[in-house]
Each structure stands twice: as structure tokens, then as C-alpha cells.
Amino acid sequence: MAIELLSGRILAPNFGNSIYVWGGVITVFMLALALGYLSGGQFSRYDPTLRRLALLLVFGAITTIPVMLFGDWILEWIFDLIQDPRYGSLLSATALFFIPTAIAGMVSPYAVRLLVSDSQLSGHFAGLLYFSSTFGSAAGTIATSFYLVLYFEINQILTGLIGISLILGLLAIFTETSTHAPRPPA
């Protein structure tokens, strides 16, 4: 949600901050999440591991980096092609945010698969995970819109969000590696 909120500010210099822009942003994020949920569920069927979940977090973070590096250039290029805020913002949001958001969407269904070992508890774990995810999104929305944007530049906030995903991903990789390390002979 923090990146979705920031996307409106990122697109505003080129396309404004109208309902058209927000309609395009929300549409792109919802479609990317839907595709991510579907893909994450499919991906979880094939030898699910904590390492693969961690790699999703790392890959999602890496695919957000071009927003900071090339975002202004991409927005100017698209604006030169399409100045209509409806279609320009839709294409811009797709170009900048579709892939990272789809990858982020893959995380929850993949995590549910890792949590569920007994099918009778699948609903419980799915509900717990989606509660945590939605609660975290609400907290991220408030933190970003009420505080972070007042004290930090957009790229600083993006860097922080990317850093958090990278740290969580790397921690999960090292946690799984250490739990599967061969034990010394007794």
C-alpha cells in the first residue's frame, strides 16, 4: 500500500492527481495483485520452500529499483506519447508498478502453502496471514500518508521499503540455510 500511495505522487508531475490518475493506479495494482495471487498459488504447488518465498521478496524488491532509477525518464517518454491523463497514467502505472506488485501478490498464497501442513487448518492459516497482511497494509498506509511523506523524499521511502524486503528475504534465506545445515557427527 505504501508503494501504491507513492505511485500517485510519482505520476502527479506528469499526469496530475485527478480521479483518472487514481483510477488507473488502483486498477493496475488490483490487476497485478490478482495475477500475483493466481501465480503465487500455482508456484506454491511445486516444492514450496522458505528459500523460494524469500527469493520472491528479494525479486520483488529488485524489480522496484527501476522505479527510482528510470521512473522520471519513463514518465517523460510516456507523457510525450500520451498526454491524456487517463491513458497516460494507466500506461505509466503499468510500466512502473505492474511487475513488482504482481510479485508482491505472489507472496501471500505462497506463504499460506508453507504454513499449511494439515488441510483442516488451511482456512485458519489463510485468515491469519491475510489479517496480518491487511493490518500491515493499513499501518503502512497511515505511516506513509501521515508521516513518511512529510519527512522523506519519495526515493528515500522507496529505498527503505526495498531495504525491508531485501532484509526479510535474506533473513529467511539464511534462516532456512542454517536449519538445513548438516549436523556434525555425534
Each residue's pLDDT tens digit, 90-144: 999 999 999 999 999 999 999 999 988 888 888 898 899 889 989 999 999 999 9
Instruction: Please give the share of the chain, as a percent, with pLDDT higher than 90.
Output: 82
Name the one residue in this structure whose C-alpha cell is 522458505: 50
Q: How many residues are given for the chain? A: 186
Q: What is the mean pLDDT of residues 10-18?
A: 94
In which band, very low, low, confident or very high, does the pLDDT at 28 lie, cut at 50, 70 and 90?
Answer: very high
- Mean pLDDT, the chain, whole residue set: 92
Give the residue-averaged pLDDT of 161-170.
94
Residue 12 reports pLDDT greater than 70: yes
pTM: 0.89
Handedness of CA 131, 179, 55, 6 (dihedral sign): positive
Tell me, what's the pLDDT at 49? Answer: 93
| pLDDT(183) > 60 | no
Query: How far is the C-alpha of 159 from the C-alpha of 141, rounded, in Å?
Result: 16
pLDDT above 60: residue 182: no
From the list 90, 72, 68, the residue with the least C-alpha distance to 154 is: 68
